[in-house]
Amino acid sequence: MSTIKVLVWNEGVHERTQSEIAEIYPDGIHGAIASGLAELLGSAVTVQTAVLSDPEHGLSADVLEQTDVLLWWGHIAHDEVSDEVVERVRQRVLGGMGLLVLHSGHFSKIFTRLLGTTCSLAWRNDGERELVWTAAGRHPIAEGVDHPIIIDKQEMYGEPFDIPTPDDVVFISSFSGGEVFRSGVTFTRGRGRIFYFSPGDQEYPVYFHPQVRRVLANGVRWAAEPALAAPNAMPTVSNPERGWFEKQPHRS
Amino acid sequence: MSTIKVLVWNEGVHERTQSEIAEIYPDGIHGAIASGLAELLGSAVTVQTAVLSDPEHGLSADVLEQTDVLLWWGHIAHDEVSDEVVERVRQRVLGGMGLLVLHSGHFSKIFTRLLGTTCSLAWRNDGERELVWTAAGRHPIAEGVDHPIIIDKQEMYGEPFDIPTPDDVVFISSFSGGEVFRSGVTFTRGRGRIFYFSPGDQEYPVYFHPQVRRVLANGVRWAAEPALAAPNAMPTVSNPERGWFEKQPHRS
Amino acid sequence: MSTIKVLVWNEGVHERTQSEIAEIYPDGIHGAIASGLAELLGSAVTVQTAVLSDPEHGLSADVLEQTDVLLWWGHIAHDEVSDEVVERVRQRVLGGMGLLVLHSGHFSKIFTRLLGTTCSLAWRNDGERELVWTAAGRHPIAEGVDHPIIIDKQEMYGEPFDIPTPDDVVFISSFSGGEVFRSGVTFTRGRGRIFYFSPGDQEYPVYFHPQVRRVLANGVRWAAEPALAAPNAMPTVSNPERGWFEKQPHRS
Amino acid sequence: MSTIKVLVWNEGVHERTQSEIAEIYPDGIHGAIASGLAELLGSAVTVQTAVLSDPEHGLSADVLEQTDVLLWWGHIAHDEVSDEVVERVRQRVLGGMGLLVLHSGHFSKIFTRLLGTTCSLAWRNDGERELVWTAAGRHPIAEGVDHPIIIDKQEMYGEPFDIPTPDDVVFISSFSGGEVFRSGVTFTRGRGRIFYFSPGDQEYPVYFHPQVRRVLANGVRWAAEPALAAPNAMPTVSNPERGWFEKQPHRS
């Protein structure tokens, strides 16, 4: 199997501007995620990172051409991501690049643009225990994952989560306060696979949690499949003449 | 709009054999459900009831022909329901009759036969508070329903719930113990609409809860639509000659 | 049941600039569609029309507030529709307004914005016979519709059609040349129902076909349900305190 | 990657009783399918075959325990398959074994039992050309497959096909007579993946068609994934005490 080329993108603002968050994530949220993927997937992946302040946000056409799976973390700077870059990423996803959208990335331009809905939800930051239950144990993303994952302190995300009907609801979370949330959901758009996973917040060390790392590693492997199977290719319009297929050589 | 002919079916064993349950449901679980539907839907429905001990379990071909929506409650006597009656009900559902399967009915012959999976789940009877959250507020079954419904004491049902991917996950519950459950899910099989709703247990007066009654009333209206739109008709095989449709009169 | 307020939108360019198309649709494509809805739905609807050249394309906030279901026909002027209007329509759909997207509207801004994919397809304008087969006879949109609908001359639209997995594939078409197309598909986005229906082209009098009119009338009734059930309301974010629901009065 | 253990099951009646069919399939339909899989998948698979007349139809518990993916071809002898064996196969599928159901197997006990619907359709045996179009090019089963596959002579299968909404409609066929059919559809039931593929009839040498063989080979690889990922395990009921998960050792 080919090596999966992974790019972890993070807006990287909290870590620069809030010392208490820099203490939790000394290498940035992207650094924590990247180290988890490298640790769990080893030689099956190469992992790069990029942040908002990089030229073109670190998401040039060249970089995207070298990316099989993109992970996206953003929160307070969604609006600062350029529309041009978002459209570039969108086209790449439709062409087969995998996309993992994390936590507050539910409100990112790329996620709402690909899904079309508001992606709004209920939230409360009160350090509650989150239990992440597997609803689709057969899904590759759930492989080897605790049922439930116990996260001692987390921001609460609650229903209603305004997303289109997912292909699969892999995980459902409950919180100490009683709320529930579809915390792990998958979508297919064009040739691309998308996985949204909500656990993970700048104020809690969630991306060091072994089980959260396991989920992200599984997600990367699952989302990489189209990119490994065929070159990136956006769906396009065609205008064939009648009977065109009778003139084609048949492949065997 | 035509009157919806509703039949509430209950195995009716607990109420006959356990006095403490007869006290909670003096008219049977079916009686409680039927009175709720009559109260909320009024002249839009006629409501009948039937129990396991009736001849043919009260589910003769004649009765089913007079039924637009069937509600099903069973628990300890699933195996006593005759296969012939189950097949009759199944065919009627495929032909367009609505079906609401309630609580422990997840293990009924009719539900597992229509869905094909084990329909297994986790459970615990410890009088926990259940919160029923709406995940699909746009669905007719969620109309006018509290978010969340608070049920003070309930049996816990938890994931994984082994069902095929539902058309819609309308409700998701959490319990005091932290578990979660897809407590309101819809399916379409043949021409029939199926709604499974888990809140409701023989040991707790859940079927008197105004919001649970609201959900069941909404469910009945939603599941009745195919039956009101066209006569019951099971999908069948056809063997048309080539070009048959060119010889048909076109309707306008 | 309340009257359904319908707005038929058409870019209305072909009819102004090509006399042969003005002959087919002397009252515009919007006029033909509107007359079909009025004829079939009678007092159940009020039908208005609007075109691209109207102020704000005839889609002001006031007009949209008075619209339960919007039909959209566009082709050569998609780019001339203002982004601001598209966003206004999108928000209204997410809030519960029904949307029927017709034929070449697959490439409209509003459709691709709501779905997130390219919505590309194969096409050929060669006056082929289209047969529209019902794949989901149980769906309200298929009620009373011929199986198949026979359209003597039509533009061919073929797979692959790059859309997210639909809620329901109601119709599948074949063409004389052998191609197939998912010609009637439904989606839910936010609180809104969306129906895409491909038969209908400026060069053929398809919108006078009694069966095509039947499908559109059924589509309007189906898509109107959320708007008739509750006021338009976009999903929004909330930030409730812990235990907030225990302090709410319970509705019954 | 582990070797995929494949079992090709065929009722094997036509080949024994009709000489013209024995001429088309001298090694049986199962033999033709098995040779195609061996040719295309090589050392990635071991391929066994079994027929109705074998003891326990060749589907003993021991054999099924050694099977990752089962292919099923049946037609005139569906009723002769024992209910006990069907239940054994069903449990194995729910536990993670892949299942490919072929052509007239749409009416097999195992397929209708797993799906719950009638699985009825329209049909006509008139040697028509079938064109198999890819509707989901991103699906692993469509990888490297002609668009369209051209099958010169085939039995026609047409809509409506009474199945639950599939996870994916991978292929849609058209026939010379104009009918259409969802000819390649996927389902998940329990931990098992199911692929139904209609091209393939005893009267035509369809299972020697290189592209049909490609589809079946892709289907086997796709359906094998759960079996390769984890031991077969039917979903089961659990009855945990409150807080049980707090007492578990956490895995990392």
Residue A62 domain-assigned? yes
| Helix pair angle (C28-41, C210-223), 10° resolution | 80
Report the distance separating Cα B171 and Cα A159, nearest Å. 10
Contacts of B165 in chain D (CB under 8 A): 167, 188
Per-residue confidence of chain B (252 residues) as pLDDT tens digits?
689 999 999 999 999 999 999 999 999 999 999 999 999 999 999 999 999 999 999 999 999 999 999 999 999 999 999 999 999 999 999 999 999 999 999 999 999 999 999 999 999 999 999 999 999 999 999 999 999 999 999 999 999 999 999 999 999 999 999 999 999 999 999 999 999 999 998 999 999 999 999 999 999 999 999 999 999 999 999 999 999 999 877 655
pLDDT tens by residue, A28-40: 999 999 999 999 9
CB contact under 8 A, D178 and C178: no
Report the distance separating Cα D173 and Cα A248, nearest Å. 18
Cβ atoms within 10 Å, residue C65: 12
With a cut of 0.90, is the ipTM above it?
yes
CB contact under 8 A, C134 and D160: yes
What's the farthest any 2 CA atoms get from each other in chain A? 67
Report the distance separating Cα A177 and Cα D244, nearest Å. 19
Report the distance separating Cα B139 and Cα B134, nearest Å. 9
Among B164, B177, B188, beta carbon nearest to D242: B177
Residue B238 domain-assigned? no
Among C131, C169, C178, beta carbon nearest to D169: C169
> Closest Cα of chain A to D76: distance in Å?
31
Residue D55 domain-assigned? yes
Cβ atoms within 10 Å, residue C146: 21
CATH number, domain containing residue D79: 3.40.50.880
Suggest the residue from B97, B99, B130, B138 to mutate for an interface test with chain C (most C CBs closer than 10 A). B138
Residue D106 domain-assigned? yes
- Are C54 and C80 within 8 A, CB to CB? no
Report the distance separating Cα D138 and Cα A226, nearest Å. 7
Residue D192 domain-assigned? yes
Q: Which residue of B has its CA nearest to A172?
A: B180
Q: How many structural domains compose chain D?
A: 1
> What burial class does residue A105 get, using C-beta atoms within 10 Å of its C-beta: 0-12 exposed, 13-18 middle, 19+ buried?
buried
Q: Which helix (H) or strand (E) holds B245?
A: none
DSSP state of B238: B
The pair phi, psi for residue B170, each rounded to 5°, is -80, -40
pLDDT tens by residue, D55-79: 999 999 999 999 999 999 999 999 9
Among C150, C188, C245, beta carbon nearest to B150: C245
Residue D202 domain-assigned? yes
Cβ atoms within 10 Å, residue D27: 13
Strand partners, C133: C172
Contacts of C135 in chain D (CB under 8 A): 159-161, 180, 182
pLDDT tens by residue, C23-55: 999 999 999 999 999 999 999 999 999 999 999
- Are B168 and B136 within 8 A, CB to CB? yes
Neighbours of chain B (3+ CB pairs under 8 A): A, C, D
Global pTM value: 0.97
CB contact under 8 A, D177 and B243: yes
> Closest Cα of chain B to D131: distance in Å?
16
Report the distance separating Cα A72 and Cα C29, nearest Å. 44
Q: Take residue B76 and report the two structure tokens written for it.
A: 């300890």
Question: Which residues lie closer than 8 Å to C72 by C-beta, 6 or more apart?
Answer: C9, C99, C100, C101, C102, C105, C108, C110, C111
Domain that holds residue B35: 4-116+184-229
Contacts of A226 in chain D (CB under 8 A): 138
- Are A226 and D138 within 8 A, CB to CB? yes
Contacts of B137 in chain A (CB under 8 A): 160
Residue A146 domain-assigned? no
Suggest the residue from C118, C121, C147, C172 to mutate for an interface test with chain D (most D CBs closer than 10 A). C172
Cβ atoms within 10 Å, residue B150: 16
Residue D199 domain-assigned? yes
pLDDT at D252 over 60: no
Contacts of A165 in chain B (CB under 8 A): 168
Q: Take residue C94 and report the two structure tokens written for it.
A: 């997410």
The pair phi, psi for residue C147, each rounded to 5°, is -125, 95
**Cα A220 to Cα A41, B14, B139, C172, D143, distances in angstroms:** 9, 50, 33, 35, 20
Report the distance separating Cα D101 and Cα D35, nearest Å. 17
Q: Strand A4-10 relative to strand A45-51: parallel, antiparallel, unpaired?
A: parallel
Which residues of C24-167 form beta strands (DSSP E)? 45-51, 69-73, 98-102, 122-134, 149-158
CB contact under 8 A, A138 and D190: yes
Among A114, A116, A162, beta carbon nearest to C235: A162
DSSP state of B170: E
> Closest Cα of chain A to C54: distance in Å?
26
Residue for token pair 């403490």:
B20
Report the distance separating Cα D171 and Cα D157, nearest Å. 13
Suggest the residue from B180, B183, B186, B188 to mutate for an interface test with chain A (most A CBs closer than 10 A). B180
- Are D105 and D229 within 8 A, CB to CB? no
- Are D233 and D211 within 8 A, CB to CB? no
